[in-house]
Amino acid sequence: MLEVKGLSAGYGDVQILREVSLAVDDGEIVTLVGSNGSGKSTLLNAICGIIRPTAGLVRLDSTDITGWNSEAIVARGITQVPEGRRLFPTMTVHENLLMGAYRRRDGQGIERDLEWMYAMFPRLKERQKQQAGSMSGGEQQMCAIARGLMAKPRILILDELSLGLAPIMLDTLVDAMQKIHREGTTIFLVEQDVATAFDLAKTGYVLENGRVVLSGPTAELKTNPHVKRAYLGL
């Protein structure tokens, strides 16, 4: 569904990404892992139209979306749950979710999806009327994911799902991600917590210094000695 080929990009004169290629097939969970400074955010910015790549292309299904601006890309069905959540802090949880459905016109569909979200995340239902900014980190993460899903995306991109989350909250979210995936959403997970990422995804890419250095089924990557040493601390 999502294809990235030979993508190079950077900021000003500094090149960060060097000919990155990856693919996310329909209905898959794919993960891209890497440390700080490896270029993960730059890659997402390039895919989602926040910066223009200097070379290469990004394709959604068969449409070339390279260099398109963000609004057009979101309209095509790519939704990102940004790093650090970026909720609307003074709006309530409910309002944040409605904002996720901003582009949609199907009132009944939106109602149904809201029910789905509250069923999946009962904590959010409890805090429906609470200001999003006053919730704890894990609850905010839940809200951000739910908001992303309200857009009914074809592909959901998660940027640093595990950042600042208590281990048990991560359990809840991983379970939720697996459920969402089973119900048909394609997920592209950009993560630093390699253990969690490999638990969730079947296919993985490892980014180092702007280059994809390893790729393949996560079951294999888990046993790769470089990965074990550098990322799993084993």
Partner 1 sequence: MPILEARLVTKKFGGLAAVSDISFDLGEGEILGLIGPNGSGKTTLVNVICGALPRTAGNVRFKGGELMGLPTHEISRLGVSRTFQVVKPFRNLTVLENVMVGALFGKTGGARDLGTARREAEAVLEFVALAHRARAQADGLNVPERKRMELARALAMRPTVLFLDEVMAGLNSAEIDAAVALIKKIRGRGVSLIVIEHVMKAIRSLSDRIMVLFHGEKLTEGPPDDVLNNPEVVAAYLGRRYAERARA
The residues of the shown chain that bind partner 1, judged by CB under 8 A, are: 35-37, 135-139, 160, 163-171, 174, 192, 195-196, 199, 230-233
Minimum CB separation from partner 1 for residue 21, in Å? 23
User: Among residues 21 and 178, whose Cβ is nearest to partner 1?
Assistant: 178
Q: Under a CB-based contact definition with an 8 Å cutoff, are residues 201 and 195 in contact? A: no
User: Among residues 83 and 95, whose Cβ is nearest to partner 1?
Assistant: 83
Place of tokens 């097939």: 25
Q: Under a CB-based contact definition with an 8 Å cutoff, are residues 162 and 196 in contact? A: yes
Which amino acid would we find at residue 74? Answer: V
Minimum CB separation from partner 1 for residue 161, in Å? 13
User: Among residues 98 and 174, whose Cβ is nearest to partner 1?
Assistant: 174
User: Among residues 113 and 160, whose Cβ is nearest to partner 1?
Assistant: 160
**Residues 112-116: contacts with CB under 8 Å, at least 24 apart:** 113/149, 113/150, 113/152, 114/150
Phi, then psi, of 90 in degrees rounded to 5: -90, -5
User: Among residues 60 and 169, whose Cβ is nearest to partner 1?
Assistant: 169
Q: Where are the alpha helices (DSSP H) in 63-151?
A: 70-75, 93-100, 107-120, 122-126, 137-150
In Å, how far are 136, 148, 160, 211 from 141, measured between CA atoms? 9, 11, 10, 29
CB atoms within 10 A of CB 36: 8
Minimum CB separation from partner 1 for residue 232, in Å? 7
Instruction: Kindly give, in sequence order, each residue whose CB lies less than 8 Å from that of residue 153, ignoring residues fewer than 6 positions away.
Output: 77, 78, 79, 185
Minimum CB separation from partner 1 for residue 216, in Å? 21
Minimum CB separation from partner 1 for residue 128, in Å? 16
Q: At 193, is the secondary structure helix, strand, or coil?
A: coil
Minimum CB separation from partner 1 for residue 219, in Å? 15
Minimum CB separation from partner 1 for residue 192, in Å? 6
User: Among residues 96 and 196, whose Cβ is nearest to partner 1?
Assistant: 196
User: Among residues 3 and 208, whose Cβ is nearest to partner 1?
Assistant: 208
